[in-house]
Copies of this chain bind each other. A is one copy, B any other.
């Protein structure tokens, strides 16, 4: 009798916290593809970027998860990147075959990738040599409708499980806020060169002290039709291969002409 092929081990995390609707949706999408383990923050950690907890302690606990078929679910006091490290080095004691992060409630396209805890978890997976994907939907609402994303998520994840990803890369996948049958398809893109014009909403506490809320407007002068922002604006799912080598290789020759010896 031949052995059953071993089921892939899939690690699911996010930055909106283990209670978020988006991670439940993503875990559900992964169930047909392998054994699913969830390790996620115990609360929202949006905007945490690639933060790691080195000056404080971490705690975690196994818990129930409202979805049949999940092998284990853990919540931690850490950031999304902490969750990836705890999962590999403390909970699993091995690297999963696939890491998926999200589905984020809100865009991680363009410059948002560098502020995103969702994408930092995927980037950390890539640093560990694990095929990793971050998924995000362009809808901040806690009750966002993720139903249109399922078939795309499963097609992308199945291919990544099958083929792996180029060394040193993960995928940044963003979905337009459209029902599934309105989505025109998928496009492999580059990160659009947008940025945030920040502003601070200055307020006074009842006790008389001044405090600020960060606000701002996203600006995108980059009109390239090969960008994630273009794809999303035109009804496509954007897929950006994303790397942790931050070297601006094209700038090395310029700098070698300076007085930097």
A residues contacting B by CB (< 8 A) are 44, 46-55, 57-60, 79, 81-82, 85-86, 88-90, 111, 113-115, 120, 123, 127-128, 155-156, 159, 163, 165-166, 168-169, 172, 185-191, 193, 195, 198-200, 202-203, 209-214, 239-252, 254-256, 258-261
15 A-B pairs within 8 Å (CB atoms) are namely A47-B52, A51-B51, A58-B213, A85-B198, A88-B198, A114-B127, A156-B260, A163-B258, A166-B248, A166-B254, A187-B260, A240-B247, A243-B247, A243-B248, A244-B246
**A58-B200, A86-B212, A245-B191 as given contacts; A251 in contact with B114, CB under 8 Å:** no
Tell me which residues across on chain B come within 8 A of A202, comparing CB atoms: 90
Q: How far is the CA of A156 from the CA of B261 in the complex (A)?
A: 10
Tell me which residues across on chain B come within 8 A of A159, comparing CB atoms: 258-260
**A127-B111, A168-B248 as given contacts; A51 in contact with B47, CB under 8 Å:** yes
Tell me which residues across on chain B come within 8 A of A44, comparing CB atoms: 55
Q: How far is the CA of A234 from the CA of B81 in the complex (A)?
A: 32
Q: How far is the CA of A133 from the CA of B210 in the complex (A)?
A: 31
Q: How far is the CA of A58 from the CA of B166 in the complex (A)?
A: 40
Tell me which residues across on chain B come within 8 A of A166, comparing CB atoms: 248, 250-251, 254
Q: How far is the CA of A249 from the CA of B226 in the complex (A)?
A: 11
Q: How far is the CA of A127 from the CA of B48 in the complex (A)?
A: 17
Q: How far is the CA of A254 from the CA of B188 in the complex (A)?
A: 10
Q: For the complex formed, measure the closest distance between the CB of A126 and the CB atoms of chain B, giving whole angstroms.
A: 9
Q: For the complex formed, measure the closest distance between the CB of A93 and the CB atoms of chain B, giving whole angstroms.
A: 11
Instruction: Tell me if B258 and A248 are in contact (CB < 8 A).
Output: no
Q: How far is the CA of A6 from the CA of B106 in the complex (A)?
A: 43
Tell me which residues across on chain B come within 8 A of A155, comparing CB atoms: 259-260
Instruction: Tell me if A247 and B190 are in contact (CB < 8 A).
Output: yes
Partner of A247, one of B128, B185, B241, B247: B241
Extra 4 A-B pairs, beta carbons < 8 Å, given A111-B127, A243-B248:
A114-B244, A166-B254, A188-B256, A191-B246
Partner of A89, one of B127, B200, B203: B200
Q: How far is the CA of A115 from the CA of B82 in the complex (A)?
A: 11
Interface-central residue, A82, A115, A242, A249, by most chain B CB under 10 Å: A115
